[in-house]
Amino acid sequence: MKKILLLLALLFFLFTGALAEENNTIVHYLLLGEDGYAESVVDDARTDTIIIVSLDEANNRIIMTSILRDSKIANPRGNETKINLLYKGFGFDGICSCLERELGIQIEGAVLVNFEHVKPVIDALGGVDIEIDENEYTAIRKILLGKDPNMPKGPGLVHMTGRIALAYMRDRSSGSGDFSRTQRQRKVVSQLFEKCKSLSLLELMNIYNEVSSGMKMSLTQLDVLKVMQKGFALASGGAEFVEYHIPQRGTYSYGTIAEGSSTLDVRWSQNRVKYHELLYGTGE
């Protein structure tokens, strides 16, 4: 039950976004997920899920932007690396500062969670219903070794428990690799977002009070309280949920880094322009 409450609190943070300032600017927070099988978060793991969550009060939007894990980026020392290694080497400050530099935004805080903990949250919220194709169906069966009483019978619209949904989100073999994987993550999260809208502010605050010690974050208790207050107002007001990813099509090429690992050579300046067009209606 503690894991369920932990992730419910995290999902509320994810969906509601952040500390909204009074001037109605867009406020950005960073969600990092360790895609491992450990029982708790660890500081030396790779963050294979990297999502910027933006709260746009002026336009009543919650924007969820996935950063692909193989994106090449300069670390705080100026050396090229994969973005999913930044937290391991430089912590919250390091990965936030690099994204701020490349995307021209300010990140107000960050949260780290073990991706494995998503399963009980999905179950607690009643599961999700997702349309899958033949390749995705095959990938789910392969990941779970075909051993699950809730295994989908085939492609089509399927109801997913937490274990099935996590296998679906971990699939990198079908579609366009990590581009498709991050899209699957956003599909699941968008459904959970709708489900969380039915929770009351009191329920969300009680959840956080019970589980806050189990989360790694760069937020104070006062910050979290403001997040919950502002986020509840936005969610209850029917905010639009917008999905986005970086890099965008035509703004990267395939390459390697020093040790020979394959990467996406991201043209960050082009992605910054496109990202600002989404956020502000301008590339400035």
What are the structural domains, with CATH classification, of the chain? 2-126+200-280 (3.40.630.190)
For CA atoms 225, 227, 229, 235, the dihedral sign is negative
In this prediction, residue 9 carries a pLDDT of 47
Over the stretch 54-66, which tens digit does the pLDDT of each residue have?
988 899 888 989 9
CA 148 to chain centre: 26
57: tokens are 């009060």
94: tokens are 């390091």
d(CA 219, CA 221): 7
How confident is the chain (284 residues) per 10-residue block, as mean pLDDT?
Answer: 46 45 71 74 82 89 92 95 94 97 95 76 84 94 88 93 91 82 86 74 62 70 72 76 93 86 94 96 71
In this prediction, residue 28 carries a pLDDT of 92
In this prediction, residue 209 carries a pLDDT of 60
In this prediction, residue 1 carries a pLDDT of 46
